Amino acid sequence: MQLGDEVAGQGWCTGAVVTQGMLPAIAQHLTRPGAAAVEVAADHWLVVVSQTCDVVSRTLEAEPFVEVLNCKPIKKPRAQYRNFRSTRVLDFRPNRETHEAVALSAHAVADRYLVPRELFRDQPPDADRHLSSEAAQRIMAWYALRAGRPSWPDAFVNRIDKDTEDALEAAIEPLKEDIAEVRLGIVEKDVELGDDQAYHVAVYFVVDAEIWEGDVEGRAAINTAFATFVSKLNGCDGIEVDQDLSEVVSGDEFTWQETRATDEWNFANLSHRE
């Protein structure tokens, strides 16, 4: 039997949790160079965050390691770290069905370790604790966001103060139903401008084509969100919204070229301030 099949047979996959009993076998890998092994307390969740297809990859050579994330319990997810607000720290609920009251927190890099995959061959994951599908998706999307988010100029980000950030977030709350995506083009996207110079931006709310064609109420909510968003962003000192270009657009009309000329708006893009 191939290594991957054995690992799969034990039940390892994204979101599986390492048992306390397995810790002695992997402890030497839960460390940094020159540092003592990290303590994984009984209420920590040491979660597999490699993609399942990598965890069960057939040969050891193809995927020598499994990535695990040491998640520590917290009282509740904090506003600045939940829902992708930070690409450094994620606060989340691991499984609302089985552990309703549990909230965890982890640092994307400082709490991530590489464990040789062969050590997962002989022992199964924790039978009582595992991430829900949603929590596993959240962690993977968080890592993707960390790697893929655009790097906006600090001088641009600094012009969006906390109150405005909150107001922008409130404005686009209705879009969380996945009915539209906010995209932002910045002319000076690679330039740290001085205080006397303005960033020129174009804002697009790209609307799901089905909503655009058949949901008047949805379109009204999106248009309201757009009006508020543009007003708030344009109110920031040193940011000028191009009102000729900015628009609410059907997803059927927003082109690949326009996608490449713009970035998806994400509050994690503002996270350099942490």
Partner 1 sequence: MSNTIEAPFYNAQRATMLQRRPSTIINAAKLFHPPAPMQLYGGDEMHLIGSYRMGTKPTSAARTVQIVDTDVLLATSAMPTVTVADFDAESWSRWSKASIDALQKVTTAAKEAPSAAARRRVERLTALQAALGLSTSDLAQALGLSRPGLYKWLDTSSDVKLQGARRERLAAVERIAKQWRQRSMAPLSSVSNEPLTDGRTVFAMMIVDQVDEAAVVGAFDELLAMLAGKPKTRSQRLAEAGFKRRPSAKSLPSDE
260 contacts partner 1 (rule: CB under 8 A)? no
Structure tokens at 10: 């034990």
Residue from 10, 223, 238, 261 touching partner 1 (CB under 8 A): that is 223
Residue from 28, 31, 151, 243 touching partner 1 (CB under 8 A): that is 243
Q: Which of 158, 185, 183 is nearest to 242 (CA)?
A: 185
Q: How far is the CB of 85 from partner 1 (least distance, A)?
A: 10
* Residues in Cβ contact with 200 at an 8 Å cutoff, skipping those fewer than 6 apart: 186, 187, 188, 240, 242
Stretch binding partner 1 (CB under 8 A), from 4-12, 120-128, 152-160, 174-182: 174-182
154 contacts partner 1 (rule: CB under 8 A)? no
d(CA 126, CA 17) in angstroms, rounded, equals 5
Secondary structure element (H or E) that encloses residue 114, with its range? strand 112-116
* Count of residues interacting with partner 1 (CB under 8 A): 49
Q: How far is the CB of 124 from partner 1 (least distance, A)?
A: 27
Structure tokens at 39: 């303590």
d(CA 4, CA 13) in angstroms, rounded, equals 11
Q: For the window 111-150, what string marks contact with partner 1 as x by the rule CB under 8 A?
A: -----------------------x--xx--x--xx-----
Residue from 228, 238, 258, 272 touching partner 1 (CB under 8 A): that is 228
Q: Which of 54, 56, 19, 61 is nearest to 40 (CA)?
A: 19
Q: How far is the CB of 79 from partner 1 (least distance, A)?
A: 9
Secondary structure element (H or E) that encloses residue 169, with its range? helix 162-171
Judged by beta carbon, residue 7 or residue 90, the one nearer partner 1 is 90
Per DSSP, which regions of 135-238 are E strands? 180-186, 199-207
Name the residues that contact partner 1, by CB under 8 A: 76-77, 82-84, 91-93, 103, 134, 137-138, 141, 144-145, 163, 175-178, 181, 209-210, 212-220, 222-224, 227-228, 230-231, 234-235, 243-244, 246-248, 250-252
